[in-house]
Structure 1
Amino acid sequence: MGIFRSQVEEAAAYIGGKLTLQPKIALILGTGLGGIVDAMEQASVFPYGDIPHYPVSTVPSHEGRLVCGTWAGKPVLVMQGRFHLYEGYTARQISFPIRVLRALGIETLILSNAAGGLNPQFHAGDLMLITDHINLTGHNPLRGPNVDAWGPRFPDMTEPYHRGLGELTVCTALSERIPLHRGVYVGVMGPNLETAAETRFLRAMGADAVGMSTVMEVITAVHAGLRVLGISVITNVNLPDAYQPAPLEEIIATAEKAGSRLVHLLSKVLVEI
């Protein structure tokens, strides 16, 4: 664990030495949702491959860049692309960027993802505020020795997604007339999509959307004391009695189409944080 800690410190020192801004807010952008970077000003770009010990994205539509700039009048750090268990990364490797962000002084983490809808009232292209999650990956980024300076051995998960940020987002969506569902996100390993039987199972558990990311990041962020806001873009709806294939190209296209509404919503939320 000492080696991991020193690697986090080395990566943070590399990035921090090049930053001209001191952001307190970071965003992690999911599949097809990298357009936020286009709205940023004074952007500095750090390819993941240039950052010491940083993982590298291998998934289509994940650019693999850390971008620092100003958006909605606030200095922000944006991860344009994330990492997944199905890529072969461990839970601890996925937690690495969160540790680096915290070391850089980040206090609030906003995550977006593309997710399959389980709630039959959802439609492709809808947005869902994540109010809670279920971890079905079988992994946990906190496994192993705990670094007490980073967080407690047994972090409380009563409110993994910050209630105040969630309420702010709901009120903002109402004022901007942007439809926003609320629901529970279930994280699975992937990379295969769910069978009809698995969809029935996940719905019976109380999940409203399913995806292959986010959960490892949120567990780490809660352990690190960050405030977390999560929003899913529903790219397809899994109806087990009328099951249809969901090609990756369609998932990415739907996420990109809904991305403009997400960008608008988050830009308004950022003003109030």
Structure 2
Amino acid sequence: MNNAPFQAAALVRSRMPANFQPRLALVLGSGLGVLAEQMQDAVTIPFDELPGFPISTVHGHAGAMVLGTLSGVQVVCLKGRGHFYEGYGLNVMTSAVRTLKLLGVDFLFVTNAAGSLRPEVDAGSLVALTDHINLLPGSPMIGPNDERFGPRFFSMANAYDADLRNLLKSTAVEANVTLHEGVYISYSGPNFETAAEIRAFKVLGADVVGMSVVPEVIPARHCGLKVMGVSVVTNLAEGMSPFQLSHEQTLKYAAIGAESLVKLILAFLANVAKTPRA
């Protein structure tokens, strides 16, 4: 039985501020770590000090947990994440997500950089995730089930919580931030998709494509955490524009989209602060 999440949670509790009770956790993707820099009374713990956490091998993906306050809400930020393409396996983020559950958060807010399959949703746009299609080779939950966190078989209905998304949508209107909605499809990477694959993904009903998110969302739902997600569009997918895709382009437009996403998240957290905790 893997006790890494319990060991990591104990270490975090030993370093967190007094009376710190985080309400939600944020996973910050490519170029989006700027949000953690705005946290008040922040405490930073590198991933390499946390048992079970992945050490990122990708430029632009920091690897640290940051605890602090944003818009009056106590949060845990993960600056960076592990990816299947780095060779860690499908359960690359399972221990990290379970650590967040043990720290007592109510829900997980995942962000990532993604390619758009819709011409009208161009680079710099924000897309609230309504569901996902998992094209990774299996599930993070393959293998022995840890009953301490959840059942062997579990539902993925409402995987991206509709009530939380509705609050985010109303917040976007208040903050004058354009927020699209769409289905996320996961691709293993590290190469970008082919034009033929993108055409196939459109037929399957996908709106945005990326190389992360699903390894966090599935273990989160397994252990009962509600989830919401927003993709920052960094490019139109392969075959939809004349530009060659690159990681540099991803980081450039992730930084542009991050300005709107930071504004949206701060306003969303201010609204969360007004609602009583369940």
TM bucket (normalised to shorter chain) is: over 0.9
Task: Determine the C-alpha separation between the residues in 2 that align with 1:167 and 1:210.
Answer: 22
Within-5 A mapping of 1:96-107: 96-107=95-106
**Against the structure 1 CA distance between its residues 43 and 123, is the aligned structure 2 distance closer, same or farther, given a 3 Å change threshold?**
same
TM-score, structure 2 normalization:
0.94
**Residues 11, 52 of structure 1: 8 Å contact kept:** yes
* Residue of structure 2 in register with 1:205 after alignment: 204
Within-5 A mapping of 1:142-221: 142-221=141-220
* Residue of structure 2 in register with 1:7 after alignment: 4
How many residues align? The count is: 270
| 109-118 or 233-242: bigger deviation | 233-242
Task: Determine the C-alpha separation between the residues in 2 that align with 1:102 and 1:91.
Answer: 19
Q: How far off its partner does 1:241 sit?
A: 5.6
Listed as ranges, the gaps of 5+ residues in structure 2 are 273-278
Task: Determine the C-alpha separation between the residues in 2 that align with 1:243 and 1:223.
Answer: 41
* Residue of structure 2 in register with 1:87 after alignment: 86
Task: Determine the C-alpha separation between the residues in 2 that align with 1:193 and 1:34.
Answer: 23
Q: How far off its partner does 1:272 sit?
A: 2.0
Listed as ranges, the gaps of 5+ residues in structure 1 are none
Task: Determine the C-alpha separation between the residues in 1 that align with 2:50 and 2:109.
Answer: 21
Q: Is 1:141 matched with 2:108?
A: no
* Residue of structure 1 in register with 2:233 after alignment: 234
Q: How far off its partner does 1:39 sit?
A: 1.1
**Against the structure 1 CA distance between its residues 157 and 78, is the aligned structure 2 distance closer, same or farther, given a 3 Å change threshold?**
same
Aligned-partner SS, 1:91: coil
Q: Is 1:119 matched with 2:118?
A: yes
**Residues 238, 245 of structure 2: 8 Å contact kept:** no
CA RMSD between the two structures: 1.2
Task: Determine the C-alpha separation between the residues in 2 that align with 1:222 and 1:78.
Answer: 18
Task: Determine the C-alpha separation between the residues in 1 that align with 2:257 and 2:185.
Answer: 21
| Paired residue type of 1:152 | P
Task: Determine the C-alpha separation between the residues in 1 that align with 2:146 and 2:122.
Answer: 42
Q: How far off its partner does 1:199 sit?
A: 0.7
| Paired residue type of 1:73 | G
**Against the structure 1 CA distance between its residues 176 and 141, is the aligned structure 2 distance closer, same or farther, given a 3 Å change threshold?**
same
Aligned-partner SS, 1:105: coil
| Paired residue type of 1:67 | V
Task: Determine the C-alpha separation between the residues in 1 that align with 2:124 and 2:161.
Answer: 24
* Identical counterparts, % of pairs: 40
Q: How far off its partner does 1:149 sit?
A: 2.4
**Residues 24, 75 of structure 2: 8 Å contact kept:** yes
**Against the structure 1 CA distance between its residues 111 and 241, is the aligned structure 2 distance closer, same or farther, given a 3 Å change threshold?**
closer
**Residues 37, 78 of structure 1: 8 Å contact kept:** yes
Aligned-partner SS, 1:110: strand
Task: Determine the C-alpha separation between the residues in 2 that align with 1:31 and 1:85.
Answer: 15
**Against the structure 1 CA distance between its residues 67 and 122, is the aligned structure 2 distance closer, same or farther, given a 3 Å change threshold?**
same
* Residue of structure 1 in register with 2:30 after alignment: 31
Task: Determine the C-alpha separation between the residues in 1 that align with 2:237 and 2:21.
Answer: 42
Aligned-partner SS, 1:204: helix
